[in-house]
Amino acid sequence: MAGLQLSKVRKSFGSVDVIHGVDLTVDEGEFTVFVGPSGCGKSTLLRLVAGLEEATSGNLAIGGKDVTNAEPADRGVAMVFQSYALYPHMTVEENMGFGLKMTGHPEAEIKTRVGRAAEILHLEPLLTRKPKQLSGGQRQRVAIGRAIVRQPEIFLFDEPLSNLDAELRVQMRLEIAKLHKDLGATMIYVTHDQVEAMTLADKIVVLRAGKVEQVGSPLKLYDDPDNAFVAGFIGSPR
Ligand code: ADP
Ligand code: MG
């Protein structure tokens, strides 16, 4: 397990500033949700944590260790995307084990970890299927499984449920909450769904145009939003 610290993190693409100096602490084991309008920088911030983008300036630390210039594979993070990004020609089992294979883990270790993740996610009967033989919910479970097998310190979720229908979203939301409880890992979760944010979060970070607008517990933001923008996002009557 590990917490995360961002200090004065900025990111620009060419001359366009996207992240304007973000300071943020995520405690170990905490479920943190990023919310904010489309284009405010939620995905960019996650990608900076994952090491998929390099910060223009500022520092990032995971578990107290500076990772500002660390390779993605050395950060102890795993990211789950909205689009699943599964390999179509591989089975569920191969999809889940692929990352471990690439990082040179022994076959037996991969099998154990994939088996354990499949058990957690109820994927055991589906291990030999290909992605096209799965429902949307099952595909997203495989994508989550691929993160679990890496045993990351921090899970990063980028709107993982937004391609699913409403009923399945509720079911998967409960599964993610249970996963957090069972694994006790630090999780950072991006969503534009207020119900997801309010029910999953220990702490909500409201982002606006590349800046942190307010940070607090769901109840705090609901009862005591700093401004009308936060109130509008959290859904509190103000
Ligand atoms: P969100 O996830 O909150 O919708 P993003 O982090 O995807 O927002 O994007 C934030 C801003 O950064 C947007 O204006 C987007 O167009 C811009 N952006 C994101 N990635 C790139 C990139 N690779 N090159 C240029 N601009 C980008
Ligand atoms: Mg996004």
Interface predicted TM-score (ipTM) over 0.85: yes
Nearest residue to 154 via CA among 122, 189, 178 = 189
Q: Is the pLDDT of residue 1 over 60?
A: no
Q: For the chain, give the percent of residues with pLDDT over 90.
A: 87
Q: Which residues surround ligand 2, an ion (CB under 5 A)?
A: 43
Which pLDDT score, from 0 to 100, does residue 233 have? 83
Any residues with Cβ below 6 Å from ligand 1, and which? 13, 18, 36, 38-44
Q: What span, in angstroms and rounded, lies between the C-alpha atoms of 121 and 27?
A: 26
Pairing outcome for strands 31-35 and 186-190 = parallel
Task: Report CA 50 to chain centroid distance, whole Å.
Answer: 10
Q: Whose CA is nearest to atom 25 of ligand 1?
A: 13
- Cut 0.90: pTM above it: yes
* Nearest ligand, measured from the Cα of 81: 2
What is the per-residue pLDDT across 42-51, written as a single tens digit (0 to 9) for each? 999 999 999 9
Which pLDDT score, from 0 to 100, does residue 87 have? 95
What is the per-residue pLDDT across 53-98, written as a single tens digit (0 to 9) for each? 999 999 999 999 999 999 998 999 999 988 878 999 999 999 999 9
Q: Whose CA is nearest to atom 13 of ligand 1?
A: 39
* Nearest ligand, measured from the Cα of 19: 1
207 and 42 in contact (C-beta within 8 Å)?
Answer: yes
What is the per-residue pLDDT across 195-228, written as a single tens digit (0 to 9) for each? 999 999 999 999 999 999 999 999 999 999 999 9
Which pLDDT score, from 0 to 100, does residue 83 have? 81
Which pLDDT score, from 0 to 100, does residue 148 have? 95
Closest ligand 1 atom, residue 42 Cα: 3
Closest ligand 1 atom, residue 44 Cα: 6
Q: Is the pLDDT of residue 237 over 70?
A: no
Q: Is the pLDDT of residue 30 over 80?
A: yes
* Nearest ligand, measured from the Cα of 47: 1
Nearest residue to 189 via CA among 95, 83, 82 = 82
Interval between CA 86 and ligand 1 midpoint (Å):
23
Q: Is the pLDDT of residue 11 over 60?
A: yes
